[in-house]
Each structure stands twice: as C-alpha cells, then as structure tokens.
Amino acid sequence: MVGRGHQMPDISDIHLCLSQCRSRKIFFEVAYGLRDQGEKEKLGLIYSRINNPDLEILENRLTLWDEADDCAVFESGMSAITTAFLEFVKPGEVLLFSSPLYGGTDHFITQFMAQIGVIPVEFTPLDIEADIIQKIENTGMGHKLAMVYIETPANPTNTLIDIAMCRRIADHFKGDDRERVILAVDNTYMGPLWQQPLKHGADISLYSATKYIGGHSDVIAGAACGSKTVIKRMKVLRTFLGNMCSPWTGWLLLRSLETLKVRMERQALNAEQVVNFLNGHPNIEKVYYPGLLTPEDGHQYKVFRRQCTSAGAMISFDVKGGEKEAFAFLNSLRLVKLAVSLGSTESLAEHPASMTHAGVEPHHRELMHITEKMVRLSVGVENYEDLIWDLEQALQNL
C-alpha cells in the first residue's frame, strides 16, 4: 500500500499489490459466499466451476433484456429451475405453482420436492386471486409459503398468468418477520424479448436457453436473471452442485445473442402470418395464440397487454376431429419438422397430448383443453409463404 498513507485502499486494487496467496484467499471468500462482493470488486478467475470469462461475458449480456442486476447461467433450463427450488424452498415449506408446467418441472416439484417434505400447492390459469389464496389457506401452512412458481404463457394453451397478481399473493403470505416469498417465472416462452417478469414483480426470470436464446437447436443451457442477492445465492449453490454452463456452451450462446433480436422478431412476424392463415381454415376448430385476444376476453386480454410486447411465436390449434386427424396432419408436414423443442430457427410441430404433455394427469389435461386434436407449432425464421404452403397441403389431407 505504498504511497496511500492511512487511507483504506479500494478492494479492487488490493489484488494487484497483495501477495498472490492473500489475493486468492480474498477470491475464495467471495466465491464461497463467506463475504459479500465489494462494490467495485471483481470476482477472481480461480476455477472454471465458479466462473470463467465466457460465462461472465454471457451473464453480463443476458442481464440486459430483463434489466436485471445479475444473471447465472446453467448447463440446462432444468438445472436453472431446480437450483432455484433447492436454494429457496426447504423441507416443511410450501411451494405454490401454476399448472400445466413444463413436464420436467412438474415432475421435479410433485415427485422430488414432495419427497423431501416440501408441500406443493397447485393452481391453474383459470383460478382467480381469491381462489388461489384460499387454496394456500386450506393447507393451514400459509405462513410457510416460500415460493410462487409460474410459467406464462402456459404451455401449450397460451393461457396467461398475471405476474403482478402472483406478486400480491406472495406478499399476502409474507409475515413481517419472514424473508420475502420468492416469485419465480419460467420466461422461456416469451423471453427475453417479449416479456420481462422482473418488471412485474418477479424475483427470478428463468430460461431454458436451449430455446430462443440458443436458437439453433445445438445447445442445452439455462439462465436465471434477478437481483444481486437472489442470483448470488443461486451462484453459490451452483458452485457446489457443479451445474454451471460449460465454457463452450457459453461461447455458442454468445454467438446466438448476436442474432437473438432479429430471429425472434422474424419468428413473431411469421407466426402472425401463419395464424392469419390458420384462423378460420375449414379443417381447424380453434387457434390458441395471445394475438387473437380481444377486449371481450376480459382479464386475459388485459394481462396480455400489460405483460407482453408481442404475441410470440408459439401457436397451438385444434384440428377438426381427434387424434387420427392430428396425426394425419403431423405426418403430412414436409417442411415443418415433427419435434418437441421450440424457439429455434426451424419450425417444429408436435402433439402435446401424446408427446410433451403425455405425463399430465388426464383430468388436468381435459381441464386445460389439452385435447387429442391439439397441435403445437413453434414458428421459425423460414419464409412464411413456405410455411403456409406446407400447413395448407397437410390440412388438405384430413
């Protein structure tokens, strides 16, 4: 500290002048969560499981759309989601979640979390605020609510869940002496461009970066965006679970971010054209797409206008008939591929009832209108006239 007099040096300068061992000690204190990171302090690059240049750059860039303080990237969407559960919900606590959820998340909550003593409470997009509060109160464990976890729009019906309402529910159950009830939103379907849950009161915006963010169907990755404190806790657990994104995946995602906006905008534009074609086609019974909501749809329309800046690029529709007709349609597609992922450059179609949502309890499937006649479409960046040509020829075969 030569020449600094009695002033306490800025901690970021310390690394330059301290002995190597002393600076490593300081790095580890932060990495292992023993001490808070100083305002200007940089996290040292001590070991790639904790952080590495590819991940740091990716995380910094991913904070931008959500306007988040910080971001943590993971090796899959599931690892981002499960790390949030494991960090913020403990045995004996209540986890409120919206249904239907992504199959992997649903399984983790109802099988794993329930088995370690967490009390899962489920609600559907059809439930209103008072119903949901009643559901939690009925458990007699409202004071133990630790997290509200939602997915909006719900897959595959595109029904929206009001994020601000979920914030109110979380706050309703937060006693004065308790930690904040965490509101986590799986933003894979609309994010990061068209919906920013943090702006509506969420604490964590979660992503399967395998989808839009990756966009090329060549990586599996996940991300969590949120406040400094929330992401710090997830990063410390990530260090010990070892489920951080690999540097190579991080590098590929940096490539993907270069085109994220143009890809998603093109996909949304294509989806709009596809919906214009599908809506009113004689072999189609109903199209599920937020852009078709009108003021007559009441709350759904209001939530859409408040929460989303685009109708997105995920479309579901019921063909006239049942499974036979839906399968005939899917088998006839020539450009659109039959596969379950979403958000990539290529258009994909699938049959939720027998594929992505095969594990959903039949009664729930019925309640949510996930019928045998439903087809889900993820619209890519192709020329929309080609997509419409393909859909038209496949519909003719019904």
Ligand X SMILES: *Cc1c(COP(=O)(O)O)cnc(C)c1O
Query: Contact residues for ligand X (CB under 6 A)?
Result: 76-78, 102, 104-105, 151, 155, 186, 188-189, 208, 210-211, 220, 222, 342
Of 291, 374, 293, nearest to 100 by C-alpha is 374
Dihedral through CA 193, CA 199, CA 203, CA 207, nearest 10?
-10
Q: Three-state SS for 279?
A: coil
Of 216, 310, 213, nearest to 269 by C-alpha is 310
Residue whose tokens read 């991913």: 62
The first and second tokens of residue 148, run together, are 């509200």
Helices and strands in the chain, H and E counts: 14, 12
CB of 217 to ligand X, least distance (A): 11
Judged by beta carbon, residue 111 or residue 397, the one nearer ligand X is: 111
Beta bridge pairs of residue 94:
119, 145
CB of 75 to ligand X, least distance (A): 8
CB of 104 to ligand X, least distance (A): 5
Q: How far apart are CA 104 and CA 107, in angstroms?
A: 5
CB of 252 to ligand X, least distance (A): 13
Which of the residues are catalytic? 49, 102, 186, 211
Q: Three-state SS for 197?
A: helix
Which residue number is nearest to ligand X in terms of Cβ? Answer: 77
Q: How far apart are CA 204 and CA 127, in angstroms?
A: 23
Judged by beta carbon, residue 136 or residue 155, the one nearer ligand X is: 155
Judged by beta carbon, residue 76 or residue 300, the one nearer ligand X is: 76
CB of 150 to ligand X, least distance (A): 11
Please state whether 191 falls in left (phi above 0), alpha (psi between -120 and 50) or beta.
beta
Judged by beta carbon, residue 378 or residue 394, the one nearer ligand X is: 378
Give the HSE-up count for residue 275: Cα atoms under 13 Å, Cβ half-sphere.
Answer: 23
Q: How far apart are CA 37 and CA 85, in angstroms?
A: 24
- Phi and psi at 66, nearest 5°, equal -80, -5
Judged by beta carbon, residue 68 or residue 190, the one nearer ligand X is: 190
Judged by beta carbon, residue 31 or residue 237, the one nearer ligand X is: 237
CB of 184 to ligand X, least distance (A): 12
The first and second tokens of residue 286, run together, are 């109903």
The first and second tokens of residue 380, run together, are 């890519």
